[in-house]
Amino acid sequence: QVQLVESGGGLVQAGGSLRLSCAASGRTFSMSTMATMGWFRQPLGKERQFVAGISNIGSTYYADGVKGRFTISRDNAKNTVTLQMSSLKPEDTAVYYCAADRGIITSNPSAVDYWGQGTQVTVSS
């Protein structure tokens, strides 16, 4: 069993920054066994969208709309994943979810192995 717990969400003005964290745990869990960690988001009334992913060797990839503004990182020793978000826009408003997968995270959320409970990010204009 794997638990993912997000933190760091909140209300921020447009142009501001937020840092989301995801703590992973489990009875015998080691994040190094997760090939990919990632973040998705779900705006109110819309489908869950891929935001960013990071492989076990640190390769990163992003959705087009966040490239250059968001940075994903992972620390396998601490079992944490972070999403640094800068130059936030009102359209970034969503519930942000941490994701973990034993394979490769793609833009298809239905294929993800594990999810966190989500954290709300609201960007005011």
Tens digit of pLDDT for each residue in 17-28?
Answer: 999 999 999 877
At 113 the pLDDT is 94
Q: Please enumerate in sequence order all residues whose Cβ is within 8 A of that of 2, keeping only pairs 6 or more positions apart, or say none.
A: 24, 25, 26, 29, 100, 113, 114
Q: Please enumerate in sequence order all residues whose Cβ is within 8 A of that of 64, keeping only pairs 6 or more positions apart, or say none.
A: none
Count of C-beta atoms within a 10 Å radius of residue 95: 18
Residues of the chain with pLDDT below 50 are none
Distance CA 115, CA 112 (A): 7
